[in-house]
Amino acid sequence: MIELDDRLRTARGHARDWGRDLRATALDLDRDPDTVRRCLDNPAVRHLSTMLIPDEWMPDRPLIGGYRFDGMTAMERVVFAEEIAAGDAGMMLAAPGPSLSGVLIDLLADREQKDWFYGRMLAEPTWTFFALTEPDHGSDAGAMQTALEPDGEGGLRLRGAKRYIGNGARASIGIVFARDRPGPLGATAVLVETGSAGFKAEPIPTVGLRGAQLSAILLDDVPVPAGRVLGRHLSPTRRGVWSGVQMFNRLRPGVAAIALGIARAAHEYVASQRGSLSKSERLRWERTGRRIDGVRQLIWRAAAVVDARPADGHLASAAKARAARLAEEVTLEALGYFGPGARLTQPMLDKLVRDARGVEFMEGTGNIQRLNTFQGLVQGKLDRG
Ligand SMILES: Cc1cc2nc3c(=O)[nH]c(=O)nc-3n(C[C@H](O)[C@H](O)[C@H](O)COP(=O)(O)OP(=O)(O)OC[C@H]3O[C@@H](n4cnc5c(N)ncnc54)[C@H](O)[C@@H]3O)c2cc1C
């Protein structure tokens, strides 16, 4: 069993308080994703907006309970993510800051690119996006068609379409994955400014995790200076698919922790809003609590593995699949405690059910995670225990 050290227990305690505060705006954000703009002083949002900026670029980072947290390890991220998502998973995804892009910047950017990216993050609250998914190529990212081509004048241009991109329509900087040649080594990530000519993003209607403001992006010959190609100082084998795999491995335990936070929010909602439970209901509620604790342990183990060996994401896949299923089952079970009209009479639970469904698709669906887990098992990289 994994126990948190004093530093991470301190993080958990603070993040739990922040999460409680977020419940007050959760339904507002669900109705109107722009609510985040009036929550920029919320401590959780402030923390998320500088998470994944290394201390070197932020030496005067405020301490939390006497400790410094920059979010550079998966273990740290899962602790914060569970607590903030237990308050509002929508806000977790709506906050400005490096977010998903931060992990790729850490992996691939050179010094000049890091100075530029982190400088923008520190100047003012700045939303970012990370665009991999395409309208017809979600799970099968290898079939991506967005093209990155030379513009004939020493620069490049991007052409294609991306879909379901978190914060796409409110971001000012983002990372786009595109193909610069055929084959598995042909994927490249570039930094893009959303004010560039030919860049168009608009929100798409969604049901769950509405705070994330998923967007459709059109790239119509968007100019990309050669200096904005990430990993330009690395070999092609280390920038395309390799970087994507490493990035998703590092992020996946955090997505699992968001699902865990949603499950916990529903479980706690039953205890706080339902009043007394019958004996059988209490036994069921307690059994669910033990299940939540078990999945938390799995997520912590997966985070520890990814921090030790970033190329090894099989346990993280198992954790994400388990946690997403847990969130769906626990939120639906919670509705059952409030009778047949619960989706109408308990708007917060209704939101949690919708958010849980959204996590199933984020960062790879359950089926894709199960395929990855299975590969880990057959390759002997995953312990059956
Ligand atoms: C809240 C949220 C945030 C997101 N944020 C981002 C983001 O910031 N950037 C980004 O690039 N993308 C983002 N996405 C997109 C996400 O990565 C995709 O939704 C996901 O990869 C699935 O792709 P798809 O929706 O096209 O579904 P599809 O790939 O079409 O899958 C549909 C169904 O088919 C199943 N399926 C597909 N392939 C297989 C297979 N080989 N074997 C078995 N079953 C299979 C899937 O499990 C699923 O049930 C986000 C999605 C959500 C919901």
Please tell me the distance between residue 362's alpha carbon and the centre of ligand 1 in angstroms: 7
Q: Which of 185, 215, 234 marks a domain boundary?
A: 234
Residue 236 tokens read as 């092609």
The confidence score (pLDDT) of residue 385 equals 64
Q: Which atom of ligand 1 is nearest to the CA of 131?
A: 11
Ranges of residues in the chain whose predicted pLDDT is under 50: none
Q: Which residues line ligand 1 at a C-beta cut-off of 6 Å?
A: 100, 130-133, 138-139, 164-166, 209, 212, 214, 358, 361-362, 364-365, 367-368
Beta strand pairing status for 215-224 and 173-179?
Answer: unpaired
Are residues 343 and 274 located together in one domain of the fold? yes
CA distances from 321 to 32, 86, 256 (A): 29, 18, 8
Q: Residue 348 belongs to what domain range?
A: 241-378
The residue nearest atom 6 of ligand 1, judged by CA position, is: 165
The DSSP annotation for 188-247 comes to EEEEEETTSTTEEEEE---SSSGGG--EEEEEEEEEE-GGGBTTTTS-HHHHSHHHHHHH
Please tell me the distance between residue 138's alpha carbon and the centre of ligand 1 in angstroms: 5
Please tell me the distance between residue 164's alpha carbon and the centre of ligand 1 in angstroms: 9
Please tell me the distance between residue 364's alpha carbon and the centre of ligand 1 in angstroms: 5
pLDDT in tens, 26-74: 999 999 999 999 999 999 999 999 999 999 999 999 999 999 999 999 9
Are residues 219 and 319 located together in one domain of the fold? no
Q: What is the CATH number of the domain that holds 62?
A: 1.10.540
The confidence score (pLDDT) of residue 314 equals 95
The confidence score (pLDDT) of residue 303 equals 98
The residue nearest atom 15 of ligand 1, judged by CA position, is: 164
Are residues 283 and 317 located together in one domain of the fold? yes
In a domain, 215, yes or no: yes
In a domain, 383, yes or no: no
Q: Which of 213, 234, 255 marks a domain boundary?
A: 234
Are residues 10 and 93 located together in one domain of the fold? yes
Which class for 90: exposed (0-12), middle (13-18), buried (19 or more C-beta within 10 A)? buried
The residue nearest atom 50 of ligand 1, judged by CA position, is: 362
Give yes or no for a contact between 250 and 102, defined as CB atoms under 8 angstroms apart. no
What's the structural domain count of the chain?
3
The confidence score (pLDDT) of residue 130 equals 96
- Separation of alpha carbons 234 and 218, rounded Å: 28
- Separation of alpha carbons 309 and 304, rounded Å: 9
Name the DSSP letter for residue 337: T
Are residues 339 and 264 located together in one domain of the fold? yes
The residue nearest atom 25 of ligand 1, judged by CA position, is: 138
Please tell me the distance between residue 133's alpha carbon and the centre of ligand 1 in angstroms: 8
Residue 109 tokens read as 């950017």
Q: Which atom of ligand 1 is nearest to the CA of 135?
A: 26
- Separation of alpha carbons 96 and 284, rounded Å: 39
The residue nearest atom 18 of ligand 1, judged by CA position, is: 138
